[in-house]
């Protein structure tokens, strides 16, 4: 029998809901709109949102891979098999890319989802010394973004700025979140037609674009028990 996996994740609560006195969780569903790009200047809550998402993903029956360019915020995962830091992001990317190729070569209907989560993708690209190297990793990521959905390989990445130097286009991200005060270029890249609606926000607050849906304002909620959340993530990274 074909297994069906639940690829829904809560990304925040609705600002509209809060304005009207109710807490409305806002979901994204990778099965209908794959991948998520998170853009925010330093200190605006990218890693915090990622931790909130990882806590949920870790409870699913999926393979979780965490690539953390800075290697500080997730230091407690250092010994975990599926945690990669600094330049090892290259290894994580190669692994996911290989897996994608294999899945493409032998199509199956019940692939277990892979969630490839990358904190500070642009930092990683900037750390590479040659343009050739950068282009090669950008190209691999672009392939994963383009082909991943059909074989249940999903990407969540964070960057300080959305910029054509780091991604080959916003088109393959079914979901985009921008937090805090975004640059003009980031706004254009993430929200295109709706760019005029975007205002400057404080840490942990911003906008969500889901393919085919109206833009919404979201607030990233406080993580109730951060130590417990990290324990759950750690368990998933050791699997
Ligand atoms: N939604 C939020 N609620 C409460 N605290 C938050 C929230 N988002 C971020 N923070 C806090 O703000 C600081 C910066 O957030 P962080 O996620 O590290 O930013 P970034 O990764 O974008 O540089 C951290 O100390 C974090 O705990
Ligand atoms: Mg961070």
133 alpha carbon – ligand 1 mean position (Å): 31
In a domain, 126, yes or no: yes
In a domain, 80, yes or no: yes
Query: Pocket residues for ligand 1 (CB within 6 Å)?
Result: 40, 42-48, 203-204, 220, 222
Which residue's C-alpha comes closest to atom 15 of ligand 1? 45
Instruction: Give residue 169's pLDDT.
Output: 64
Return the CATH number at 194: 3.40.50.300
| Helix, strand, or coil (residue 237) | helix
In a domain, 40, yes or no: yes
In a domain, 1, yes or no: no
The count of structural domains within the chain is: 1
DSSP string, 151-201: GTEEEEEEESS--TTT-S-STT-SEEEEESS--HHHHHHHHGGGGGG----
Range of the domain at 145: 31-238
In a domain, 115, yes or no: yes
In a domain, 217, yes or no: yes
Ligand nearest to the CA of 161: 1
Q: Of the candidates 97, 108, 111, which has an alpha carbon nearest to the alpha carbon of residue 144?
A: 97
Question: Which residues of the chain are modeled with pLDDT < 70?
Answer: 1-3, 169-170
Instruction: Give residue 95's pLDDT.
Output: 98
Instruction: Give residue 62's pLDDT.
Output: 97
**Residues 176/191, Cβ–Cβ less than 8 Å:** yes
In a domain, 45, yes or no: yes
In a domain, 50, yes or no: yes
Ligand nearest to the CA of 223: 1
Instruction: Give residue 4's pLDDT.
Output: 82
Measured distance CA(7)–CA(107) in Å, rounded: 19
């Amino acid at each position: 029998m074909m297994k069906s996996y639940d690829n829904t994740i809560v990304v925040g609560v609705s600002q509209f809901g809060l304005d009207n006195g109710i807490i409305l969780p806002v979901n994204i569903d990778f099965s209908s709109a794959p991948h998520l790009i998170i853009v925010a200047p330093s200190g605006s809550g990218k890693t915090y949102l990622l931790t909130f998402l990882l806590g949920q993903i870790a409870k699913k029956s999926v393979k979780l891979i965490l690539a953390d360019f800075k290697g500080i915020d997730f230091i407690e995962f250092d010994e975990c098999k599926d945690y990669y830091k600094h330049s090892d992001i290259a290894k994580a990317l190669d692994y996911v890319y290989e897996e994608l190729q294999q899945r493409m070569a032998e199509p199956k209907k019940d692939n277990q989802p892979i969630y490839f989560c990358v904190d500070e993708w642009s930092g990683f690209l900037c750390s590479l010394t040659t343009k050739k190297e950068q282009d090669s990793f950008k190209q691999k990521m672009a392939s994963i973004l383009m082909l991943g959905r059909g074989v249940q390989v999903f990407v969540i990445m964070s960057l300080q700025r959305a910029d054509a130097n780091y991604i080959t286009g916003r088109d393959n991200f079914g979901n985009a979140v921008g937090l805090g005060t975004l640059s003009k270029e980031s706004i254009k890249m993430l929200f295109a037609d709706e760019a005029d609606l975007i205002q400057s926000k404080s840490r942990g607050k911003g906008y969500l674009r889901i393919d085919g849906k109206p833009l919404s304002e979201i607030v990233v909620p406080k993580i109730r028990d951060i130590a417990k959340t990290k324990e759950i993530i750690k368990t998933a990274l050791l699997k």
